[in-house]
């Protein structure tokens, strides 16, 4: 410790004589090689820990309006916004002229420290969130898995894991079986623990998969509680059949993964879950929409007036399946995820669906397994841990694919990367907006700077990156989380334990009016028919 203290003061002395700002004692400052150079306990009174910020002259973008002006932040909250706000002595001024000032990204779909297929995803709640902040994401919603089917136990385990968080987060809870305890725990999680969404896996037979009977019970309970049911939509029975068939043909490598679970199986499960949600009259959220087949089912349901939310993820929007055929196993295995990344054409169709409003928000499904973990399936694609990286890349890739290409405006970009997620999960306008009273989670994006993605410079613990070499116009130069500058000049200033659990209340806008539809349904039945008089006359 003494050595560390001496090093810190030496660093301060160097900063003093060279007129550089002092390093922030209390931050863990990462460099690109993932080393933490300073670790302490204090934030306050130091340059990057400053809590009064004036962001000047940027184009401030919300999902519904934009203007050129200033934002004043104090104590982690946006206080005021407008043109030419006054500069006072104790305020740090950040010049944002020529740049976009937007709400920090919210990633609705991540898997940090997830035990899965005999491995644990290699980013924990600290490294994964540090990576998120470096890429402009200031909040994520992770999927907590039950422990041996026990939801509460699973929630407690994930809550402990998340104690090391350096940014805000929430949880969806997975439901992997059905019994009275599950129903009771769902109720407690919604009423006392801030959970308002539950995920049901229609794939992963023998581990996470639920039957239609269990799904129906889950949908009913969700509706009663005002919680949003989510589905991983692939037909798990057919996937198991497809895996046996492809493996028996001698196809053992990563390409077998895509071949064994084609888009038709995603389309089938999407259609089935949408129809069952209609039968129960509950809203539905389809996670990681990867194919035209699934997207068209969502489109049709929405056109008929059903409340279905479709979430594409970055890998589905930006990649195709060609790398699964790479001769190098290490490269090919990186791209194994479920549902699989599809052949070229699906990506463009998903982009179009996002720009036309058929799909609503973009996640990542960040489930990183490094090369040594992926090596588990070297001789059998069925054993390759499923998942790709994306938490750090999402905001840049979506900007490139959707905004640089002219498919979406900056306002729509804010909607699909932040605001829609906050609204769907009922935390808007605390999150997902730049408004007085909102949390000061803000990014500054320079549309003229360049970003290059590489495993050698990213902050995730992954040793590979599925977007390796991707170069684009647009760079998130500053990330502000809870009113503090945590990413600036290519460096992270993050601290373990400051990330807050954001509870999410049930009965989001998606539930408004369902009672009226239920009444309409009951009155449409015209039953039971009164046959009492008829019975008397006909006997
Ligand atoms: O391949 C994936 N998607 N891994 C994470 C688990 C899931 O299905 O979301
Ligand atoms: Zn899934
Ligand atoms: Zn997932």
SS3 assignment for 389-423: CCCCCHHHHHHHHHHHCCCCCHHHHHHHHHHHHHH
| Arithmetic mean of pLDDT, 489-511 | 98
pTM reported for the whole predicted model: 0.92
User: For a substitution probing ligand 1, which of 285, 338, 339 has the most ligand atoms within 8 Å of its CB?
Assistant: 338
Ligand closest to the CA atom of residue 338: 1
Tell me the C-alpha distance between 124 and 165, whole Å: 9
CA distances from 280 to 446, 489, 502 (A): 46, 51, 29
Is residue 41 predicted with pLDDT exceeding 70? Answer: no
Residue 45: per-residue pLDDT: 30
Tell me the C-alpha distance between 112 and 121, whole Å: 6
- Per the prediction, the chain carries an average pLDDT of 92
Tell me the C-alpha distance between 176 and 160, whole Å: 21
Question: Which ligand 1 atom is the nearest neighbour of the CA of 336?
Answer: 1
Phi-psi label, residue 431: left if phi above 0, alpha if psi -120 to 50, beta otherwise = beta
Residue 538: per-residue pLDDT: 62
Quote the percentage of the chain above a pLDDT of 90.
Answer: 89
The two three-digit tokens of residue 237, written as one number: 């029975």
Residue 536: per-residue pLDDT: 64
CA of 260 to the centre of ligand 2 (A): 16
Task: Please answer whether residues 172 and 186 qualify as being in contact, where contact means their C-beta atoms are separated by less than 8 angstroms.
Answer: no
CA of 109 to the centre of ligand 2 (A): 9
Task: Please answer whether residues 462 and 455 qualify as being in contact, where contact means their C-beta atoms are separated by less than 8 angstroms.
Answer: yes
DSSP state of 534: H
Question: Which ligand 1 atom is the nearest neighbour of the CA of 287?
Answer: 9
Tell me the C-alpha distance between 253 and 250, whole Å: 9
Tell me the C-alpha distance between 140 and 31, whole Å: 23
CA of 479 to the centre of ligand 3 (A): 25
| Arithmetic mean of pLDDT, 316-345 | 98
**Residue 245: CA count within 13 A, CB half-sphere:** 11
Ligand 1 pocket residues where CB is under 6 Å: 111, 232, 337-338, 365, 367, 386-387
User: For a substitution probing ligand 1, which of 368, 386, 389, 391 has the most ligand atoms within 8 Å of its CB?
Assistant: 386
Residue 51: per-residue pLDDT: 84
Ligand closest to the CA atom of residue 340: 1
Tell me the C-alpha distance between 357 and 334, whole Å: 30
| Arithmetic mean of pLDDT, 356-360 | 98
Ligand closest to the CA atom of residue 365: 3
Is residue 116 predicted with pLDDT exceeding 70? Answer: yes
Residue 247: per-residue pLDDT: 98
Task: Please answer whether residues 337 and 387 qualify as being in contact, where contact means their C-beta atoms are separated by less than 8 angstroms.
Answer: yes
Is residue 281 predicted with pLDDT exceeding 80? Answer: yes
CA of 266 to the centre of ligand 2 (A): 11
- What angle, rounded to 10 degrees, do the helices at 292-303 and 346-355 form? 30
* pLDDT band per the 50, 70, 90 thresholds, residue 319: very high
Is residue 430 predicted with pLDDT exceeding 70? Answer: yes
| Arithmetic mean of pLDDT, 101-107 | 99
Q: Is 47 exposed, middle or buried (0-12, 13-18, 19+ CB in 10 A)?
A: middle
Q: How many CB atoms lie within 10 A of CB 523?
A: 8
Question: Which ligand 1 atom is the nearest neighbour of the CA of 109?
Answer: 9
Question: Which ligand 1 atom is the nearest neighbour of the CA of 111?
Answer: 5
Ligand closest to the CA atom of residue 200: 2
H-run or E-run covering 304: none
Q: Whose CA is nearest to atom 3 of ligand 1?
A: 338
Convert 434-467 to b/e letters by CB count within 10 Å (16 or more is b). Answer: beeebbbbbbbbbeeeebebebeebbbbbbbbbb
* pLDDT band per the 50, 70, 90 thresholds, residue 46: very low
Q: How many CB atoms lie within 10 A of CB 386?
A: 20
Q: Is the dihedral of CA 495, 161, 167, 437 positive or negative?
A: negative
H-run or E-run covering 263: helix 263-280
| Closest to 374 (Cα-Cα) out of 322, 317, 328, 315 | 328
Q: Whose CA is nearest to atom 8 of ligand 1?
A: 338
User: For a substitution probing ligand 1, which of 367, 373, 384, 462 has the most ligand atoms within 8 Å of its CB?
Assistant: 367
| Arithmetic mean of pLDDT, 185-211 | 98
* pLDDT band per the 50, 70, 90 thresholds, residue 535: low
| Arithmetic mean of pLDDT, 150-171 | 98
For 321, the 3-state DSSP assignment is helix
| Closest to 262 (Cα-Cα) out of 323, 338, 189, 207 | 338
User: For a substitution probing ligand 1, which of 107, 288, 294 has the most ligand atoms within 8 Å of its CB?
Assistant: 288
Question: Which ligand 1 atom is the nearest neighbour of the CA of 203?
Answer: 8
Tell me the C-alpha distance between 359 and 276, whole Å: 20
| Arithmetic mean of pLDDT, 241-264 | 98
Lowest-confidence segment of 6-20, 91-105, 226-240, 494-508 by average pLDDT = 6-20
379 φ, ψ (degrees, to nearest 5): -110, 5
Ion ligand 2: residues, CB within 5 A, are 232
* pLDDT band per the 50, 70, 90 thresholds, residue 539: low
CA distances from 8 to 5, 49, 394, 484 (A): 5, 16, 35, 21
Question: Which ligand 1 atom is the nearest neighbour of the CA of 232?
Answer: 8
Q: Whose CA is nearest to atom 9 of ligand 1?
A: 365
Q: How many CB atoms lie within 10 A of CB 120?
A: 16
CA of 93 to the centre of ligand 3 (A): 39
Q: How many CB atoms lie within 10 A of CB 306?
A: 17
Q: Whose CA is nearest to atom 4 of ligand 1?
A: 387
Is residue 44 predicted with pLDDT exceeding 60? Answer: no
Is residue 17 predicted with pLDDT exceeding 90? Answer: no
User: For a substitution probing ligand 1, which of 110, 111, 366 has the most ligand atoms within 8 Å of its CB?
Assistant: 111
CA of 387 to the centre of ligand 3 (A): 8
Quote the percentage of the chain above a pLDDT of 70.
Answer: 90
């Amino acid at each position: 410790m003494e050595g560390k203290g001496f090093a810190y003061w030496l660093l301060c002395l160097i900063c003093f004589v060279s007129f550089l700002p002092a390093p922030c004692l209390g931050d863990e400052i990462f460099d690109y090689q993932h080393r933490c150079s300073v670790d302490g306990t204090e934030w306050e009174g130091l340059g990057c820990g400053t809590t009064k910020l004036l962001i000047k002259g940027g184009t401030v973008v919300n999902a519904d309006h934009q203007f050129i002006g200033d934002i004043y932040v104090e104590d982690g909250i946006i206080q005021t916004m407008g043109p030419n706000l006054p500069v006072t002595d104790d305020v740090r001024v950040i010049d944002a002229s020529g740049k976009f000032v937007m709400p920090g990204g919210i990633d609705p779909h991540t898997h940090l420290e997830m035990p899965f297929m005999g491995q644990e995803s290699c980013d924990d709640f600290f490294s994964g969130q540090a990576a998120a902040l470096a890429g402009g994401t200031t909040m994520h919603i992770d999927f907590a898995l039950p422990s041996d089917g026990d939801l509460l136990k699973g929630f407690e385990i994930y809550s402990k894991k998340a104690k090391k968080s350096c940014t805000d987060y929430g949880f969806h809870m997975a439901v992997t079986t059905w019994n009275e305890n599950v129903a009771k725990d769902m109720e407690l999680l919604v009423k006392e623990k801030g959970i308002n969404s539950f995920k049901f896996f229609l794939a992963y037979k023998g581990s996470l998969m639920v039957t239609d009977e269990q799904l129906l019970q889950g949908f009913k309970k969700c509706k009663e509680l005002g919680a949003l049911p989510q589905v991983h939509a692939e037909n798990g029975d057919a996937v198991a059949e497809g895996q046996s068939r492809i493996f028996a043909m001698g196809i053992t490598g990563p390409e077998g993964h895509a071949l064994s679970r084609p888009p038709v199986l995603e389309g089938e499960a999407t259609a089935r879950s949408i129809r069952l949600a209609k039968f129960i009259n509950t809203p539905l959220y389809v996670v990681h929409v990867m194919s035209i087949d699934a997207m068209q089912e969502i489109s049709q349901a929405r056109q008929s007036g059903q409340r279905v939310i479709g979430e594409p993820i970055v890998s589905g929007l930006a990649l195709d399946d060609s790398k699964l055929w790479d001769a190098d196993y290490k490269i090919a295995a990186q791209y194994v995820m479920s549902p699989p990344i599809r052949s070229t054409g699906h990506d463009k169709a998903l982009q179009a669906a996002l720009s036309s409003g058929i799909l609503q928000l973009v996640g990542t499904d960040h489930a990183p397994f490094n090369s040594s973990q992926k090596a588990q399936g070297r001789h059998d694609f069925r054993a390759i841990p499923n998942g790709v990286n994306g938490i750090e890349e999402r905001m840049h890739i979506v900007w490139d694919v959707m905004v640089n290409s002219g498919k979406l405006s900056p306002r729509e970009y804010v909607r699909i990367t932040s605001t829609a997620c906050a609204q769907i999960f009922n935390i808007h306008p605390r999150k997902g907006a730049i408004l007085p009273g909102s949390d000061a989670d803000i990014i500054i994006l320079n549309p003229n700077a360049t970003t290059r993605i590489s495993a050698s410079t990213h902050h995730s613990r992954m040793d590979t990156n599925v977007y390796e070499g991707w170069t684009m116009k647009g760079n998130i130069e500053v990330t502000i989380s809870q009113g503090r500058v945590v990413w600036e000049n290519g460096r992270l200033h993050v601290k373990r334990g400051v990330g807050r659990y954001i509870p999410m209340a049930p009965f989001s806008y998606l539930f408004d009016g369902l009672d009226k539809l239920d009444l309409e349904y009951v009155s449409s039945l015209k039953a039971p028919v009164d046959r009492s008089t008829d019975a008397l006359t006909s006997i």
